[in-house]
């Protein structure tokens, strides 16, 4: 059971304590569906372990507030615990604190200034073909319709526009097998791959400015495989390379660039996820930056599902209370004050009032519940 009248910090801890490693989100999805189903101003839908809840007030605009409910595997960091002003536990930062804010918004703001669609989806932390948001986009695109979207990914309380694309390639160095006692009769593919490593070592990543935000690319080897036996000169060595590219490039541009960089090698693309441009000039996005981010935004240097929203034609930003550098770590935590601040700012945005008034409204709502 999830008590949506609880303080957002308490709610975060409860959500963390419901284990939801990718592929095992059923218990948390059930709890979210039940909690939202008790709110009469929402219409709730379910697909697998994804839950969608919508207001239908006839507002001029509809916004989508989305977050994934799965986590990476647990490493002795559930249940959660509090130390000082921090809540520790798997998913505290990425991104159950953001999910808690979503749920509190659903409960605290029954008549928002925009119609709202709340999306809680599964399997974000694993392979893309299992991603719950991708499944919803394919099977129920009407559930995701909107004019603007916020992904409650961990951003440290900053608004992060767009996202970088990611591409993995295999760079294959060829050689000729021979007995290692007569190595001169062959050609060592592992040695040949050393030149590819040198290319990576000397590579200068771009730092382009896209729509006013500074991105920072990266090109790195992430795997090396090669060798046949201890007495054989290998005839193949493969270096797997990950390219994180800015949103001024398309996936096709990125592939062409990598083929030029590794022109002397066989190159095979094994995985790609396109980037998303910031889109902060969209009126709804600009208003969000003014209201929630005090007019400030920065680039998202990783990949998030804002790219999937962009593919649907919905401008989107990342915003959440978690700290991205703590995601997936054993000692993951979230600052308790950061969760409260995100709730306050989001309530202010959805109600059309300033942050201080929103904070007072949240406090009054919690006080009324406590008295009841």
pLDDT tops 50 at residue 324: yes
Co-location of 297 and 157 in the same domain: yes
We report the CATH number of the domain holding residue 119 as 3.40.630.10
Secondary structure (3-state) at 15:
helix
Half-sphere exposure of residue 69, counting CA atoms within 13 Å on the CB side? 31
pLDDT tops 70 at residue 356: no
Which of 75-84, 178-187, 312-321, 352-361 is predicted least confidently?
352-361
- 354 pLDDT band, cuts 50/70/90, is low
Which of 273, 289, 307 is the last residue in one of the domains? 273
Share of the chain above pLDDT 90, in %: 92
Co-location of 139 and 72 in the same domain: yes
Q: What is the extent of the structural domain holding 184?
A: 165-273
List the one residue out of 199, 216, 235 whose CA is nearest residue 160.
216
Co-location of 196 and 98 in the same domain: no
What is the predicted pLDDT for the residue at 360?
66
Q: Which residues have CB under 8 Å from 258's CB, separation 6+? A: 167, 169, 241, 243, 267
pLDDT tops 70 at residue 359: no
Co-location of 350 and 258 in the same domain: no
Co-location of 14 and 144 in the same domain: yes
Share of the chain above pLDDT 70, in %: 95
* Residue 3, domain member (yes or no): no
pLDDT tens for 115-163 read 999 999 999 999 888 999 999 999 999 999 999 999 999 999 999 999 9
* Residue 156, domain member (yes or no): yes
* Residue 2, domain member (yes or no): no
* Residue 23, domain member (yes or no): yes
pLDDT tens for 178-198 read 999 999 999 999 999 999 999
How far, in Å, CA of 297 to CA of 170, rounded?
A: 35
Tokens of 193: 């791959």
pTM higher than 0.85: yes
Question: Which member of 49, 70, 323, 332 is catalytic?
Answer: 70
Co-location of 78 and 112 in the same domain: yes
Query: Distance of alpha carbon 326 from its chain centroid, rounded?
Result: 13
What is the predicted pLDDT for the residue at 55?
98
Co-location of 287 and 364 in the same domain: yes
Co-location of 13 and 139 in the same domain: yes
Catalytic residue list contains 70: yes
- 370 pLDDT band, cuts 50/70/90, is very low
What is the predicted pLDDT for the residue at 372?
40
Which of 226, 248, 273 is the last residue in one of the domains? 273
Counted domains in the chain: 2
Co-location of 307 and 263 in the same domain: no
Co-location of 206 and 350 in the same domain: no
* Residue 341, domain member (yes or no): yes
Co-location of 150 and 269 in the same domain: no
We report the CATH number of the domain holding residue 258 as 3.30.70.360
Which of 273, 296, 321 is the last residue in one of the domains? 273
* Residue 15, domain member (yes or no): yes
* Residue 1, domain member (yes or no): no
Catalytic residue list contains 83: no
How far, in Å, CA of 228 to CA of 96, rounded?
A: 45
| Whole-number average pLDDT of the chain | 94
Question: Which member of 49, 124, 153, 192 is catalytic?
Answer: 124
- 369 pLDDT band, cuts 50/70/90, is very low
- 371 pLDDT band, cuts 50/70/90, is very low
Co-location of 55 and 152 in the same domain: yes
């Amino acid at each position: 059971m999830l008590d949506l009248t609880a303080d957002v910090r308490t709610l975060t801890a409860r959500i963390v304590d419901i284990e939801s490693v990718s592929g095992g989100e059923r218990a948390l999805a059930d709890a979210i569906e039940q909690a939202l189903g008790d709110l009469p101003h929402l219409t709730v839908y379910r697909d697998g372990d994804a839950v969608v809840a919508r207001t239908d007030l006839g507002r001029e605009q509809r916004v989508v507030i989305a977050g994934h409910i799965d986590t990476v595997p647990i490493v002795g960091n559930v249940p959660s615990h509090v130390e000082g002003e921090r809540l520790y536990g798997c998913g505290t930062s990425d991104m159950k604190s953001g999910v808690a804010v979503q749920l509190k918004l659903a409960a605290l703001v029954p008549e928002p200034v925009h119609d709202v669609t709340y999306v809680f989806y599964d399997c974000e932390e694993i392979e893309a073909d299992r991603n719950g948001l991708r499944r919803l986009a394919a099977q129920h695109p009407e559930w995701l319709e909107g004019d603007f979207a916020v992904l409650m990914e961990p951003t440290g309380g900053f608004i992060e526009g767009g996202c970088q694309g990611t591409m993995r390639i295999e760079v294959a160095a060829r050689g000729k097998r021979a007995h290692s006692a007569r190595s001169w009769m062959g050609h060592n593919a592992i040695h040949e791959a050393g030149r590819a490593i040198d290319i990576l070592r000397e590579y200068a990543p771009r730092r382009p400015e896209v729509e006013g935000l500074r991105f920072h690319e990266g090109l790195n080897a992430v795997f090396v495989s090669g060798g046949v036996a201890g007495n054989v000169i290998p005839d193949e060595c493969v270096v797997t390379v990950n390219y994180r590219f800015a949103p001024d490039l398309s996936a096709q541009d990125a592939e062409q660039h990598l083929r030029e960089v590794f022109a002397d090698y066989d190159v095979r693309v094994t995985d790609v996820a396109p980037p998303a441009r910031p889109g902060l000039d969209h009126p709804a996005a600009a208003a969000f930056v003014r209201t929630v981010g005090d007019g400030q935004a920065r680039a998202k240097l990783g990949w998030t599902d804002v790219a999937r929203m962009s593919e649907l034609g919905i401008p989107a930003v990342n915003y959440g209370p978690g700290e991205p550098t703590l995601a997936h770590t054993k000692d993951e935590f979230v600052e308790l004050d950061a969760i409260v601040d995100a709730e306050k700012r989001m309530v202010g945005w959805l109600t059309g009032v300033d942050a201080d008034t929103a904070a007072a409204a949240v406090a009054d709502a919690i006080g009324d519940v406590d008295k009841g």
